[in-house]
Amino acid sequence: MKTRTIQLGEIMPARSGSVDPSRFPEEPFDLYSIAAYDQGQPETRLGREIGSAKQVVQPGDVLLSRIVPHIRRAWVVGEQRGRRMIASGEWMVFRGDRFDPCYLRHALVTDLFHGRFMQTVSGVGGSLLRARPAQVADIEIAMPPLPDQQRIAGQLEQADRLRRTRRYALELADTLLPAALLQLFGDPADNPRGFDRVQVEQLFPPDRDGAKCGPFGSALKKHEYVQTGVPVWTMDCVGDMEFREDRCLFVTEQKFEELRAYDAQNGDILVSRAGTVGRMAIVMTKHPRSIIHSNIIRLSLNPAMILPIYFVAVMTWFPERVARLKRGQEDAYTFMSTGTLGAAFSGAT
């Protein structure tokens, strides 16, 4: 059976009511603000602390941020906690008994809806861009029967919990793994176990360029990429200590032969030198041949002297301690050349 669709205007209340909290200076309110969204719960604030009139909301309402850059944020108003519940004017409110709130929240952050939503955004000069409610009201979304909505919402909520659990595990690993390395090897700067301290260029293999920048853009043009063939490792292939093989581009065998000097092999370290500068990942691929993109440095180390995973861990977690590398804005390193890498210091086991 074909799923029914509705226009969002059908579930947008004509009047949700408003209140000026400053007229009730000692009354506590539950405030659903854009800032509170990231905390996962409304702010509890006294009326005198709230600067302007707010919308009145009620349990089960679904809020959608209409302000750029705070888009793709949808929030379900929670249970009554004994205080009046209000929301800032940057939220659009959806209300009614025709939808499951969790289902609607997920529907309002999908790629399909987001594409349509952004077509309603406007703004002039330096002002923030905002979606226009009158145009958002015309957007149609799928609205299956309530039992189906609840089933879909349950599955999506379970997926969300798994994603949150994975994110927490990764955040925990970011703390525990560096601590474990310090426990095993000591502080790389103090070197309490007396490991050899060498420049990175002393770890290069004798039979291969140790550090190689990718080819100039003129040597590898966009029209030369093909659907399948020899992989080209790009910035997208270099995650945070994660090699993403499936995000590569491809060139023909003939093009590979032209650019063989920029080849990459299993165990080589890829270093992003543009955008996410300083991210590193170790090549682990099923492909027998591959090359690097112009925005990548390929680092080859002598496995008899140092393991790639040790180098990547130390340089990622303790760059200021071992390599005299300074982090810039957005956690990026300042180096982006083979010379700087080669002259950096590292401990070798």
Tokens matching residue 12: 């947008």
Beta-strand relationship, 28-32 and 84-87: parallel
Question: Looking at per-residue confidence, does 323 or 108 come out higher?
Answer: 108
pLDDT at 322: 62
Whole-number Cα distances in Å, 287 to 39, 141, 207, 264: 44, 43, 22, 10
pLDDT digits (tens, 9 = 90+) for 112-139: 898 899 899 887 644 568 899 999 999 9
CB 200 within 8 A of CB 319: no
pTM of the model: 0.51
Architecture, CATH, for domain 5-157: Alpha-Beta Complex (3.90)
**Better-scored residue on pLDDT, 87 or 192:** 87
Kindly report the number of other CB atoms within 10 A of residue 63's CB atom: 24
Render pLDDT for 150-181 as a digit per residue (tens, 0 to 9): 999 888 888 877 777 777 666 666 677 778 77
| Predicted pLDDT of residue 344 | 55
Q: Give pLDDT, residue 337.
A: 54
Which top CATH class is 174-348?
alpha beta
Residue range 262-281: mean pLDDT, rounded: 88
Residue 323: helix, strand or coil by DSSP? coil
Sketch the domain layout of the chain as residue ranges: 5-157, 174-348
Question: What is the rounded CA–CA span in Å between residue 48 and residue 70?
Answer: 26
Read off the pLDDT of residues 79-110 as tens digits, 9 standing for 90 and up. Answer: 999 999 999 999 999 999 999 999 999 999 98
- Cβ neighbours of residue 43 under 8 Å, at least 6 residues apart? 30, 31, 33, 35, 36
Q: Quick one: angle between helices 146-185 and 308-317, nearest 10?
A: 100
Same fold? 5-157, 174-348: yes
Q: Residues of the chain with pLDDT > 70: what percent?
A: 86
Residue range 249-272: mean pLDDT, rounded: 94
pLDDT (tens digit per residue) in 213-233: 999 878 888 889 998 999 999
100 vs 156: CA distance, rounded Å: 13
> Tell me, what's the pLDDT at 195?
83
CB neighbour class for 98 (10 Å; exposed up to 12, middle 13-18, buried from 19): middle
